[in-house]
Amino acid sequence: MSTAPQIVVHRDKELMAQAAAARLITKIVDAQAARGSASVVLTGGRNGNGLLAALAASPARDAVDWSRLDLWWGDERFLPDGDPDRNVTQAREALLDAVGLDPARVHAMPAADGTYEDADEAAAAYAAELAAAARPEDHSPVPSFDVLLLGVGPDTHVASLFPELPGVRETERTVIGVHGAPKPPPTRISLTLPAIRSAREVWLLAAGEDKAGAVALALGGAGEIQAPAAGAYGRTRTLWLLDQSAAAQLPRDLYPPASP
Ligand SMILES: O=C1O[C@H](COP(=O)(O)O)[C@@H](O)[C@H](O)[C@H]1O
């Protein structure tokens, strides 16, 4: 069942990143207190990396026990390990290299290094890794992630699920190879909408004028095939974190005033 989106609008993208980082720290600390560990799915893109950089700069990051955090990815560009365009490379630079993570808990998506024949085989391997981490109480072939982060693309794509492409129609598999993505690079790996919906909380991030049309479409009642972001929701919460530019085309009564 979908959870109704909650919308929070911040003054600008810097404040949005800082506020999202503060929220994420609190969420991880609370999950670790309640369950011993926490799990977060990272996103690539400008807003996802902005959040990680804000987290790295926050003194409150020391409240997190980084060794008891599982990190997964919502999508990845199928490129060689260390390629600067890989989401994991960018996440390492923004935050991960600066905190004491347990390497066994950093579940990067496979690279194009010859281990797997192609993105489809690599996606199947990641699906198996997720399934091995899921517990019976998750009632799903993927773990119940505490928070799953998604950047919203200017065309409403989330992870590497693009409007009208086959990936957004996937209902069985949890991870897929993506071919012919309209945004380079064309070959990618992505969680599917059913896998995304296994998360307890899904947080969608969008900042900047170029996201305003996508935000208005996805929150304005479009279907998920036309606007994949509309199909991304969590089991207990779906949170849209925006800046004023990205919220510019939303009806004004949909959200409370931005902080000054
Ligand atoms: O290619 C991708 O794009 C989206 C959105 O990125 P943005 O720079 O427009 O915010 C991102 O969320 C995804 O992880 C990434 O692979």
The number of the ligand 1 atom at minimal distance from the alpha carbon of 154 is 9
What confidence category does residue 1 fall into, taking pLDDT thresholds of 50, 70 and 90?
A: low
Count helices and strands (H / E) in the chain. 6, 9
Residue 36 region, left (φ>0) first, then alpha (ψ -120 to 50), else beta?
Answer: left
Residue 121 has pLDDT above 70, yes or no: yes
Tokens of 129: 């890794």
What confidence category does residue 252 fall into, taking pLDDT thresholds of 50, 70 and 90?
A: confident
The DSSP bridge partners found for residue 205 are: 151, 241
Mean pLDDT score across all residues of the chain: 96
The number of the ligand 1 atom at minimal distance from the alpha carbon of 211 is 9
CATH class of 5-254: alpha beta
Which of 16, 40, 41, 47, when mutated, tests ligand 1's pocket best, judged by the most ligand atoms within 8 Å of its CB? 47
Rounded Cα gap, residues 104 and 178, in angstroms: 26
Q: What percent of the chain has pLDDT over 70?
A: 98
What confidence category does residue 175 fall into, taking pLDDT thresholds of 50, 70 and 90?
A: very high
8 A C-beta contact, residue 110 and residue 189: yes
Q: pTM for this structure?
A: 0.97
The number of the ligand 1 atom at minimal distance from the alpha carbon of 152 is 5
> Among candidates 192, 191, 243, 241, which has minimal Cα distance to 87?
191
Residue type, 199: A
Q: Is 106 helix (H, G, I), strand (E, B) or coil?
A: strand
Rounded Cα gap, residues 152 and 135, in angstroms: 29
Going from the Cα of 151 to the center of ligand 1, the distance in angstroms, rounded, reads 5
Atom 16 in ligand 1: residue holding the nearest Cα: 44
The number of the ligand 1 atom at minimal distance from the alpha carbon of 205 is 10
pLDDT (mean) for 113-129:
98
> Among candidates 225, 233, 119, which has minimal Cα distance to 176?
119
Atom 9 in ligand 1: residue holding the nearest Cα: 153
pLDDT (mean) for 96-105:
98
Q: pLDDT by residue (tens digit) across 3-45?
A: 899 999 999 999 999 999 999 999 999 999 999 999 999 999 9
Determine the pLDDT at residue 3: 87
Residue scoring higher pLDDT (258 or 17):
17
Determine the pLDDT at residue 72: 98
Domain spans in the chain, listed from the N-terminal domain onward: 5-254
Which of 16, 41, 43, 242, when mutated, tests ligand 1's pocket best, judged by the most ligand atoms within 8 Å of its CB? 43
Tokens of 111: 């690279």
Strands (E), 11-146: 38-42, 69-73, 75-77
Determine the pLDDT at residue 259: 55
The number of the ligand 1 atom at minimal distance from the alpha carbon of 183 is 1
Q: pLDDT by residue (tens digit) across 192-202?
A: 999 999 999 99
Q: pLDDT by residue (tens digit) across 72-89?
A: 999 999 999 999 999 999
Determine the pLDDT at residue 260: 55
| ipTM confidence | 0.97
Residue 258 has pLDDT above 70, yes or no: no
Which of 75, 187, 243, when mutated, tests ligand 1's pocket best, judged by the most ligand atoms within 8 Å of its CB? 75
Atom 14 in ligand 1: residue holding the nearest Cα: 44
End-to-end Cα, the chain, rounded Å:
35
